[in-house]
Amino acid sequence: MKAPLLFVMLWLSSVANVWAQTNCYPIRRSAPFYANAIKTSIGSQSDLFYGLGDGFVYPAFKDGGYLHIPDLIYRQQFWIGGRDESGKWKNSYMLSAIQDRDFVNGPGSIDPSDCVNWGHVWVVNGYEVASLKDDYKDGIIDSSPGYSLLVWPGRGNPYIHSLMGIQLPDQQLAPFYDLNLDGIYDPWTGDYPIIGEDCPNLIPTQMAWTIYNDVLGTREYFKGQPLGVEVGVTVFALDFPSPDDILQESVFVRYDIQNISGEQLSDVRIGHFVDAEIGCSQDDLVGCYPNGQTFYAYNDGADNLICPQGVPGYGDFPPVLTTTFLSDSLNSFIYWNRVNPWDPSDTIPIPQVIENVFHGLWQDGTTITEGGNGYMTSGNPTTFLFSGLPSDSTSWAQNNTDFEFGDRRLFGVAKAFGLISNERKVHYSVYSAHRGNDFEPPLQVDYALSRIPFLHSFYGSCFTLSIGNPLPCLTDCVWPGDMDGNGMCNNLDLLEWGISLDRMGVKRTQPFIGWLPQHGLSWGKTGKLDSDARHQDANGDGTIDPLDLFALNENFGRTVNESIDWGGVTLTGPEIKLTRIFNPLTSPDELLAPGKKFMIQFDVSDWPVDSIYNLGYSITFDPAVVSLD
């Protein structure tokens, strides 16, 4: 029996090697994304929110209640599956960015060797778009568009090759408003980035775009065959006013999916894989709300502030995470524990497991049934696991069952559709955090679901408020952390904060601490400063206190323009003296051996103590000689 088994293994290895031949090796990059109460990072491949950077941090500022700020999502991924013209099931997904390469960067039309140049996430801020539109009111661009506008990968962009080294194929790429209808993106002629051609008038606070495909990827033979799609992804966030600040606590995603397989596809299904972590990872529960096209994760109770794994928890009243489909119906919802939807000991082929979960079945193909854990119970068949309300003890919710603890992976699938060759499909979804005041988890879910209708109506109006959307701040703005209002966030801003400490004033309408301009009403000058005190209220809560230092740390070193002048005074005399502290045990000699650490003593001479409100200083050093630890 050994010889035939060896033959089968060699044959499978040969098939796998042939399947994986390609010149395309993807480089995964991510870009920070922080435009409201959610801080995250957008990945260049199919995992948008990934905890190795900023997963989905909420709330994205210290409010005094957390030692650290927890993530709501460790990882989110886009999955897709469907059938070719022969009826064969095909799918693409990525569980490990290190090992899996179902999706690779760039359009499917590029040479495989060029995909390494496409590992980018392009980010544009709303104020940049608003500034360009304002500049072009007279039909002429007077000020050079910002770098992010010049490299936006809209079709035919004439600047991106010289600035980034990327050669654009002649096809639809990143969406843009084509002012002169020439089909070419050029900000010097008034063109600007948009979230999509279907909602061209929205100017979000921040948006990001990336593109990937599954036809140039590599994969293990046992994972099945790629569907043949190209996916352009726009992520956007808003700091607009909304009921209970729901827009402040949401991130929207637009998927533009094109069939590039060369054949007609049917039974196409979009899946959202979400590795939720409501603080501590082992005590999360899950559920879905089919009428609201929503699935969610919540906690079984209060968290520790520090979880057993050493990561931060939420303490009392942890929030709820929801994923809501806006343009499509939720067709099924299921979950599994840990990384994979299959057990390595199973005899069911992996492609069959994936096909099952895409169709709202358990991994082994068993139909979900209502009641208990949903597996082989006596209830009615369904594709929606735990569709009851946790606050109703008689409904089918996970907290009302004899649940086991585990690290949950949620999987929601949209209603199936068909795509002819080269046809496109747009899919909108939104990820939201919900945290009502002093609500236990079941009532926290009720609160979360009560906010979903607004998200649907907001999408229905092309993301436009009934009172109109606010325009980004363009003049006399607050940049969180720039406490002296000079366009730079550096150590001098600490002086402004020290002088203004404990002052109170008008809270900003939609406060957050991302490095973006914000409207703020005047407080008046502190008395010892030239800047308005609203700039020292870095987090916008109406009080100048230690919490504002979090914004200073977050944005330290950033500038509004390209200025390299730090704004301070350089002293070379005796007023300030830096002295190395000698440790007789570890470094008694004046010369310090490579790799050894040392401390510096900071001396201020001839200054009256009552004249010092705070100290801000910079130390210049040669990085070839000194490295900071």
Cβ-contact 193, 129 below 8 angstroms = yes
Q: Is 187 helix (H, G, I), strand (E, B) or coil?
A: helix
Assess whether pLDDT exceeds 80 at residue 16.
no
Q: Which has more pLDDT, 317 or 176?
A: 176
* Confidence label for 570 from pLDDT (cuts 50, 70 and 90): low
The distance from CA 83 to its chain's CA centroid, rounded to whole angstroms, is 31
Percent of the residues in the chain that have a pLDDT greater than 70, as a whole number: 83
* Confidence label for 563 from pLDDT (cuts 50, 70 and 90): low
Quote the pLDDT of residue 520: 93
Quote the pLDDT of residue 1: 31
Question: To 10 degrees, what angle do helices 493-500 and 548-555 make?
Answer: 180
Q: Is 118 helix (H, G, I), strand (E, B) or coil?
A: helix
Assess whether pLDDT exceeds 60 at residue 98.
no
Gap between the Cα atoms of 186 and 164, Å rounded: 16
Cis (ω within 30 of 0) for the bond into 175?
no
Assess whether pLDDT exceeds 80 at residue 35.
yes
Tokens of 47: 């995992």
Mean pLDDT of 312-328: 93
According to DSSP, the residues that pair with 271 across neighbouring strands are 79, 413
Quote the pLDDT of residue 45: 82
Assess whether pLDDT exceeds 90 at residue 356.
yes
* Confidence label for 304 from pLDDT (cuts 50, 70 and 90): confident
Quote the pLDDT of residue 608: 60
- The H or E element containing residue 550 is helix 548-555
Quote the pLDDT of residue 184: 98
Looking at this protein, which amino acid is placed at residue 387? S
Quote the pLDDT of residue 235: 98
Looking at this protein, which amino acid is placed at residue 119? G
Contacts by 59-62 with C-beta closer than 8 Å and gap 24+?
A: 59/433, 59/435, 60/34, 60/36, 60/512, 60/513, 60/514, 61/37, 61/512, 61/513, 61/539, 61/547, 61/550, 61/551, 62/547, 62/550
Mean pLDDT of 334-340: 85
Gap between the Cα atoms of 146 and 193, Å rounded: 12
* Confidence label for 529 from pLDDT (cuts 50, 70 and 90): confident
Per-residue pLDDT tens for 359-415?
Answer: 999 999 999 999 999 999 999 999 999 999 999 999 999 999 998 888 899 999 999
Assess whether pLDDT exceeds 70 at residue 593.
no
Gap between the Cα atoms of 359 and 345, Å rounded: 22
Assess whether pLDDT exceeds 80 at residue 449.
yes
Quote the pLDDT of residue 22: 53
CA nearest 250: which of 388, 89, 56? 56
Residue 79 region, left (φ>0) first, then alpha (ψ -120 to 50), else beta?
A: beta
- The H or E element containing residue 442 is helix 441-460
Per-residue pLDDT tens for 232-276?
Answer: 999 999 999 999 999 999 999 999 999 999 999 999 999 999 999
Q: Which has more pLDDT, 403 or 194?
A: 194
Query: What does 354-393 look like in DSSP terms, one character per residue?
Result: HHHHHTTB-TTSPBEESSTTSBS-SS-EESBSS-S-TT-T
Quote the pLDDT of residue 349: 85
Cβ-contact 405, 283 below 8 angstroms = yes
Gap between the Cα atoms of 418 and 151, Å rounded: 34
* Confidence label for 302 from pLDDT (cuts 50, 70 and 90): confident
Assess whether pLDDT exceeds 70 at residue 604.
no
Assess whether pLDDT exceeds 60 at residue 65.
no
CA nearest 229: which of 99, 379, 61, 424? 424
- Whole-number average pLDDT of the chain: 87
Mean pLDDT of 81-86: 97
Q: Is 295 helix (H, G, I), strand (E, B) or coil?
A: strand
Quote the pLDDT of residue 309: 75
Tokens of 175: 């969406």
Provide CB contacts within 8 A for 452, sequence distance 6+.
289, 292, 294, 322, 324
Encode 386-407: b = buried (16+ Cβ within 10 Å), e = exposed: bbbbbbeeeebbbbbeebeeeb
Q: In this predicted structure, which of 63-67, 181-185, 248-252, 534-538 has the lowest mean pLDDT?
A: 63-67
Assess whether pLDDT exceeds 80 at residue 596.
no
Quote the pLDDT of residue 68: 65
Quote the pLDDT of residue 564: 59
Cβ-contact 102, 92 below 8 angstroms = yes
Quote the pLDDT of residue 44: 87
Assess whether pLDDT exceeds 50 at residue 13.
no
Assess whether pLDDT exceeds 90 at residue 71.
no
Gap between the Cα atoms of 121 and 93, Å rounded: 19
* Confidence label for 7 from pLDDT (cuts 50, 70 and 90): very low
Cβ-contact 224, 352 below 8 angstroms = no
Q: Which has more pLDDT, 60 or 255?
A: 255
Quote the pLDDT of residue 9: 32
DSSP letter at 608?
-
Gap between the Cα atoms of 228 and 260, Å rounded: 5
